[in-house]
Amino acid sequence: MIQGIGHIGIAVKDIEQVLDQFCKSLALERPEVKEVPERRMKVAILKLGAVQLELLEETESGGILSGSVKERGDFIHHLCLITDNIDKDILKLESRGVKMAQDEPSTGLRGKRVSFAASGILGDIPIELSEP
């Protein structure tokens, strides 16, 4: 069952600049920026109460985010919903006509099983399901 929002994924052009500005403006502790070489990304997690902001910067051009960031600037990339049973919730979504981006859940940036909906549940904003 869907338990709530886990995080909001935001694609950014310059993760260091965004973190500096955001943390300074809101007097937040600056999180660590982690390199994820296998995904060619840098990631930082800002904790804001129960919801987190997941900042994503590609480290190489030509990836899934860089073209959109170059064209649009920083933008909301996805909304992550936490589920207590990802397999069951995928089946429920598919029974309601939602197409998933992959056949099976994969391991996400945080080491949890995740799966993205391919069809637009929330307009053009992708929805990610994640284990807690």
- Cα 23 to Cα 15: distance, rounded to the nearest angstrom: 12
Per-residue pLDDT tens for 13-59?
A: 999 999 999 999 999 999 999 999 998 999 999 999 889 999 999 99
Domains of the chain, by residue range, sit at 2-130
**CA 102/CA 16 separation, integer angstroms:** 31
* Total-model pTM: 0.90
Fold held by 2-130: 2,3-Dihydroxybiphenyl 1,2-Dioxygenase; domain 1 (3.10.180)
For residue 76, what pLDDT band results from cuts at 50, 70 and 90? very high
